[in-house]
Amino acid sequence: MERVMAAAARRVGVPGRGCGRGGARGYRAALCAELAKPLLVRDVPSPPLQPQQVRVGVHYCGLNFADILACQGLYQEKHTLPFTPGMEFSGTVTETGEGVSAVKAGCRVVGVTAGAAMAQQCVVHQKMLWQIPGGVSHEAAAALPVAYGTAALLLRRRARVQPGETVLVTAGAGATGLAVIDLAVNVFKAKVIAAAGSDAKCELALKSGASHSVNYSQSSLRDEVMRLTDGRGADVAVEAVGGDIFKAALQSLAWEGRIVVIGFAGGKIPSIPANLLLLKNVSAMGMYWSRYQKENFPVFSSTISSVLEYCQEGKIHPNVGAIFKLEEVNEAFNHVLQRRSTGKVIISMK
């Protein structure tokens, strides 16, 4: 897939007349026309607004691994071809439909959608928009919903992290890993051991607030965590890699520790050795952020409001690792697929 994506930039379309951001006649969008093939950037018509809907001129769209999986046909939520990926975005309201009261034209907003945000405009229900507070940039806002929403929910609601506890986070230099570090240290007042697959990524995690780091490509994750905690282990493990790293993180837990699974970036979905749960009375749980949108929307919404507030107050500092133009969307996908990304990768519509 990487090779075909690399060629896609040569196949993008030419902008049509009158198709600027938020234009009434049409706009530019990334399209997945075939699964596991390069995305195309094409002009598409602007849909009419339905009641409660809002049209937003998109400034930035956050790129998530889930977007890549969706375009490969491997994500748990399937889309009908052709579709535009993109789950989170920041922008400016350009038009509101009947019955909209939460925002008005000109409002700076951050939004969440099941797809369609990787474009110059996006139409969403008003309840899926949050106003960006003063002092928070569009770039930072686009990096918040998925990574920081996931991190905040898992730390507060699932793991119930307490001040002074030790949190181990794998894939510690990724967007969610850095969000976990940022929130755990600056909001939850916990200590963080960050684990990553290279010295450079470990160094970034340390600069972002982690007390210690472990390069699990060069040393035993379990042995290092036990050494760093004087044999006690971590109170919480946030696990995003899967495979052998999951088992090592599980073995690194302290008595009555908690491990929260948020993904399988390594590609292998592990089995849980039940005896390891028994020996230390530990708990294993999952964290599927977007499911809260359907099952408990008040919690979902308040979490995004909270991270926006934390950002405005200067308590957290989203790390935008790379910005690609819309016409470079395939290069952006490759950047993530080749594991060159650190922090959040965002797509600019400017």
Domain stop point among 286, 310, 336:
286
Return the pLDDT at 3: 43
Answer yes or no: do 66 and 139 share one domain: yes
Domain extent, residue 230, equals 158-286
Residue 164: how many other CB atoms lie within 10 Å: 10
Considering the domain architecture, whether residues 163 and 131 belong to the same structural domain is answered as no
Q: Does residue 20 share a domain with residue 129?
A: yes
Query: 135 and 12 in one domain?
Result: yes
Q: d(Cα 137, Cα 122) in Å, to the nearest integer?
A: 19
Q: What is the pLDDT of residue 25?
A: 67
Q: Give the model's pLDDT for residue 7.
A: 43
Q: Contact, 323 vs 139, CB < 8 A?
A: yes
Taking 50 as the pLDDT cut, the residues of the chain under it are 1-23
Whether 325 contacts 347, CB under 8 Å: yes
* CB contact at 8 A, 169 and 154: no
Find out whether 14 and 41 touch, Cβ atoms under 8 Å: no
| pTM for this predicted structure | 0.90
Q: Report the distance separating Cα 119 and Cα 65, nearest Å.
A: 17
| In a domain? residue 45 | yes
**Residue 330: which CATH number?**
3.90.180.10
Sign for the pseudo-dihedral over CA of 107, 112, 115, 117: positive
Q: Is residue 333 exposed (0-12), middle (13-18) or buried (19+ Cβ within 10 Å)?
A: buried
Sequence-distant (≥ 6) Cβ neighbours of residue 257 within 8 angstroms: 233, 234, 235, 236, 237, 280, 282, 283
Contact between residue 211 and residue 178 where contact means Cβ atoms under 8 Å apart: no
Q: Would you say residue 312 lies in a domain? A: no
The predicted pLDDT at position 165 comes to 98
User: If you average pLDDT over every residue of the chain, what do you get?
Assistant: 92
**Vertex 329, ends 323 and 330: CA angle to 5°?**
125
pLDDT digits (tens, 9 = 90+) for 80-135: 999 999 999 999 999 999 999 999 999 999 999 988 999 999 999 999 999 999 99
Cβ neighbours of residue 101 closer than 8 Å, sequence gap 6 or more: 126
How confident is the model over 248-269, as pLDDT tens digits? 999 999 999 999 999 988 878 9
* Rg (alpha carbons) of the chain, rounded to whole number: 20
Residue 217 near residue 148 (C-beta atoms within 8 A): no
